[in-house]
Structure 1
Amino acid sequence: MKNILLLSTGGTIASAPTENGLAPAIHSDNILSLLDSVLYNYKVTTKDILSLDSSNIQPEEWKVIAKSIYENCNKYDGIVITHGTDTMAYTASILSFMLPNIQIPVVITGSQLPLLNPLTDGIENLRCAFAMAASETPGIFLAFNRKVILGSRAVKVRTTGFDAFESVNSPYAATIDSSGLHINHQVIKKVTGKCKLEDKLCKDIFLIKLTPGLNPEIFDMLLNMNYKGIVIEAFGAGGLHFIRRDLISKLEKIVQKGITVVVCSQCLYERSDFSIYETGKLALEKGVLQGYDMTTEATVTKLMWALGKTNDVEEIKKIFQTSFVGEVTIL
């Protein structure tokens, strides 16, 4: 019988109707009482660490969650975290970086309908999360709708559908069908040392989606606001306009001021590749970094983590050319 810790942070799964709409209301021990047969094979300990709509889970809360995992990872066979779906992919991604070499399964899940709703998807998601948490497969994962995703590859793609999350540019870490839990070990990074808590983050990161005709002066504003890093969702494989509105020259000035700029693609699938078009090559020459096939969530959180570790331009470049938790494919 595996010893599992259930950490509750709030979200829809723990919500109940109020006069102002759904809000987190039930605690982890209440969640436990609703699961019944799900828990027959596990010894479960519960702990409430937050009670928030996930829209309010920010870098400060990430540190609380990461610390709770780190303090308990040697006491349990696995950890399940209940979390709201809206920012779940960001949390799963940043935890992957903050807890390198985690030696147990840590599985984040939630639901599109509260556990108190008779049609909830939460019980099935928890069933999947507990199975993965008991699997002895180290890593940070997100479990939803009978699928398990690497924490650094998860993206929320639907607002209400039960199939809310997809694994982008990477196979699923595990799936569940009538014959049980099937783990794809080729997807999962091997543990190479002791787990560390690397929770120093740079919160001064800005994400901008490029649109045709975007005024390059927006980057002067960001410079004046003391941002340390910028992530740009560019066109296609990494296109940036430079005729009439010269983004390339502006980004060169930004990089010279010590701000790290990482460009990924607006396209959900496949990779950015600056070697294909003139605009991409020009951007690389000016010091812009590639996001390759990382999700936007992974790009943003990796940059927060990288700038929390160092301000050295070459070190940050090396970080973005390295896959730490399966977050990127470097060819």
Structure 2
Amino acid sequence: MSLPDLDLNRRILVLYVGGTIGMRASPDGLAPQRDLPAALAAHLGPWAESLPLYSIQSAVDPIDSADAAPEDWLTIARFIAERHGRYDGFVVLHGTDTMAYTASALGFMLAGIDVPVILTGAQVPLEVEGSDALENVVSALTFAACPSLAGVGLAFDGVLYRGCRTTKVSSSDFAGFDSPNHPPIARLLPVPAMDLAALQRPDGTEPGFTIPDHLDARVLSLRAVPGLPTAVLDAILDMAPQGLIVECYGSGTVPRLDGHMQVFLERAVRRGIVTVALSQALHGGIRLGAYAAGSALARAGVMDGRDMTFEAAYTKLHFLLAQDLPPVMARTLFTRNLIGEIRD
């Protein structure tokens, strides 16, 4: 299906928060610049007649996305919420390293938003020859001009993905992102097309933002590896996390460690730690109990993260834990498909 007719009268606000797209050379390597809006406007000039009405703002202190923290997700969400109703869409220029985290976090906080919020960035700075920056910004603005699009997405290399389904898959290729377990929403090449089924939201998604006062929960991850020391398990419990992601092999197996893993998981769940299992594999998700080696998770009460990305699970835990919910309620909500982040 082709893209719906574009509405070039739509008003789109572009927010630059940092990342490679706006970096310049410095004595210590590439660093964010603060005057990207002027430079970007100049580059977009020749495209102006084919783009919606846009304005560009820069964050007060653009950052390298490697320095991004949950509080930065809050800042961006509040910025958009305060201006919702004055614009027909938003484009957020963000560093690629943590863009999928921000896209997922914004999806939860801005659930049901009735305009597009599209994140993009670049693998090569705008002012470097051969950059992908201009193409990505033009693509994001083009998608933002589609009246039928709404919600948080991520646009890269001419493809629009559901934000909470994305993960970074390359540190150098222009096709730097993918949504391994969910089809893209739209693409511009080889011909413009949109998948309306991929655009659908879960039943019951209601407009209305839930932006917490803070996002300071302690969420940790445990990655299964051959020869995992049992001391790591004790160290995790000593840190008293509120949320824990167990990154399993394949469809849901973890090393037994002579029974230590079972004891660890049971102790974590008893302590009220919201514990979820994900697969280290990009495709297919997890199926707890499919193998005897993974039955320890199911017996301990670990939640099945199914086909969620790590980024979606991590930000969803932060989002739920920030609301001071009882652990049983946080567990219940975690298993629900809130914004399309998980298969039904």
Indicate if the aligned counterparts of 1:263 and 1:291 stay in contact, CA closer than 8 A: yes
Q: 1:98 aligns with which of 109, 113, 134?
A: 109
Q: Deviations over 1:74-120 (max 9, x none)?
A: 11111001011111111111111111111100000000111101211
The equivalent residue for 2:159 is: 147
Q: Quick one: structure 1 residues 229 and 178, their matched pair in 2 at CA, closer, same or farther if it must change by over 3 Å?
A: closer
Shift, 1:152, TM fit: 0.6
Deviates more, 1:68-77 or 1:31-40: 31-40
Q: Quick one: structure 1 residues 48 and 194, their matched pair in 2 at CA, closer, same or farther if it must change by over 3 Å?
A: same
Instruction: Give % identity.
Output: 32
Shift, 1:213, TM fit: 2.4
The equivalent residue for 1:313 is: 327
Shift, 1:38, TM fit: 2.8
List aligned pairs for 1:163-312, cutoff 5 A. Answer: 163-180=175-192, 182-190=193-201, 192-199=205-212, 200-244=214-258, 246-312=260-326
Indicate if the aligned counterparts of 1:188 and 1:326 stay in contact, CA closer than 8 A: no
Does 2:42 correspond to 1:33?
Answer: yes
User: 4+ residue runs of structure 1 moved beyond 4 angstroms?
Assistant: none
**1: distance between equivalents of 2:297 and 2:28?**
47
The equivalent residue for 1:15 is: 23
**2: distance between equivalents of 1:311 and 1:320?**
11
Shift, 1:319, TM fit: 1.6
The equivalent residue for 1:47 is: 57
The equivalent residue for 1:156 is: 168
**2: distance between equivalents of 1:193 and 1:263?**
28
Indicate if the aligned counterparts of 1:263 and 1:288 stay in contact, CA closer than 8 A: yes
What secondary structure, in the 3-state scheme, does the structure 2 residue paired with 1:201 have? coil
Deviates more, 1:266-275 or 1:22-31: 22-31
Structure 1: gaps (5+ residues): none
**1: distance between equivalents of 2:338 and 2:126?**
35
**1: distance between equivalents of 2:324 and 2:343?**
23
Letter of the structure 2 residue corresponding to residue 35 of structure 1: L
Letter of the structure 2 residue corresponding to residue 163 of structure 1: A
Shift, 1:243, TM fit: 4.5
Does 2:15 correspond to 1:2?
Answer: no
**1: distance between equivalents of 2:125 and 2:139?**
17
**2: distance between equivalents of 1:234 and 1:140?**
28
Q: Quick one: structure 1 residues 202 and 171, their matched pair in 2 at CA, closer, same or farther if it must change by over 3 Å?
A: same
**2: distance between equivalents of 1:152 and 1:32?**
29
Letter of the structure 2 residue corresponding to residue 314 of structure 1: V
Does 2:88 correspond to 1:80?
Answer: no
Deviates more, 1:29-38 or 1:166-175: 29-38
Indicate if the aligned counterparts of 1:9 and 1:81 stay in contact, CA closer than 8 A: yes
What is the count of residue pairs matched by the alignment?
Answer: 329
**2: distance between equivalents of 1:76 and 1:327?**
26
Deviates more, 1:90-99 or 1:317-326: 317-326
Indicate if the aligned counterparts of 2:230 and 2:257 stay in contact, CA closer than 8 A: no
**2: distance between equivalents of 1:277 and 1:178?**
42
Q: 1:69 aligns with which of 67, 80, 88?
A: 80
Shift, 1:132, TM fit: 1.1
Structure 2: gaps (5+ residues): 1-8
TM-score (normalised: structure 2): 0.91
